[in-house]
Amino acid sequence: MGDRFIGRVAVVTGGASGIGEAAVRELHAEGASVVIADIQVAPGQLLAAELGNKAIFLEADVSAESDVAAAVDAAVSRFGQLDIMFNNAGVMGTLGPIDSTCIDDADRTIAINLRSVISGMKHAARVMKPRRCGVIISTSSPAGMLGGVGPHVYSATKAAVIGISNSVAAELRPFNIRVNTVVPGAVVSPMTASLVAGGPDHLDQALETMNDTALMSRPLLPADVAAAVLYLASDAAAFVTGVTLPVDAGMTGAIGQSPFATGKYDQSVTVFEAGRRT
């Protein structure tokens, strides 16, 4: 592996599985110290133990600003600084027509998908601005750029993630803090499995479905998205800020055969409680 992140410190929300886990592993492999912030305690603790003393796990409900602030503070207290903030945690929220939307579920989706990103940006900026350097990356979705490819409230939150990222990028540019958004297509992960295969434990079935509908020769994997995240976090992207980077085989360029666009998801599925990650 490379050494692009030796001496760097990262916080990854939703870091215990899916895209977050892949990013944690790749950042660590290239030298970074990592705070894994996730509501999933068992997998988060196992991952931190596997990676050793340059990784710590912090149980975090990202809908609570105090938990996000604690993750940032843990990076500073344990490793001395924060260089990379990856706001990745999220939920799909409730599927269904707009006239049956449960506002309580909508509020929860907004809290996890959007308010957590605002909290992450706020507290990352708090510790990055005095050092006049840093990178903030947030996970959006094609559903935030296109209609009809995701649940309504989820789509709204992911569009808002792009909007606030662009706005904060303009504010923080004089401080040499870069702010960008990554837009993964349908990734083989427990959260996607809850849509296309009926539950988070059906990854094999999800993989088969997504193979049938892939825009390229294979489905998108968490490692593919992590590679884009690491690029945005690296010095190679030193002049890249205020950018929305799709990693979706062209889905946002022209709607293709995704599991969402083809309706191959279970409309009865509600919020996937265990999967506060994207």
CATH number, domain with residue 120: 3.40.50.720
Under 8 Å between Cβ of 39 and 276? yes
Under 8 Å between Cβ of 272 and 207? no
Residue 271, domain member (yes or no)? no
Q: What total number of domains does the chain contain?
A: 1
Residue 264, domain member (yes or no)? no
Residue 8, pLDDT above cutoff 80: yes
Residue 152, domain member (yes or no)? yes
Residue 263 pLDDT class (50, 70, 90 cuts):
very low
Residue 254, domain member (yes or no)? no
Structural domain of 39: 9-247
Higher pLDDT, 262 or 251: 251
CA distance 128 to 105: 33
CA distance 256 to 249: 9
Residue 264, pLDDT above cutoff 60: no
Residue 1, pLDDT above cutoff 80: no
Residue 260, domain member (yes or no)? no
> pLDDT of 154-211, one tens digit each?
999 999 999 999 999 999 999 999 999 999 988 876 666 555 545 556 556 655 555 4
Exposure string (b/e) for 149-186, b if CB count within 10 Å is 16 or more? bbbbbbbbbbbbbbebbbebbeebeeeebbbbbbbbbb
Neighbour count for residue 234 (Cβ, 10 Å): 17
Which of these is catalytic: 86, 154, 260, 265? 154
Residue 154 appears among annotated catalytic residues: yes
Residue 269, pLDDT above cutoff 90: no
Residue 3, domain member (yes or no)? no
pLDDT for position 2: 85
- Residues shown for the chain: 278
Residue 18, domain member (yes or no)? yes
pLDDT for position 148: 85
Under 8 Å between Cβ of 27 and 7? no
DSSP designation for 207: H
> pLDDT of 135-163, one tens digit each?
999 999 999 999 888 899 999 999 999 99
Strands (E), 156-222: 177-184
CA distance 255 to 274: 29
Per DSSP, the three-state class of 10 is strand
Among 5-14, 148-157, 209-218, the range of highest mean pLDDT: 5-14
Residue 261, domain member (yes or no)? no
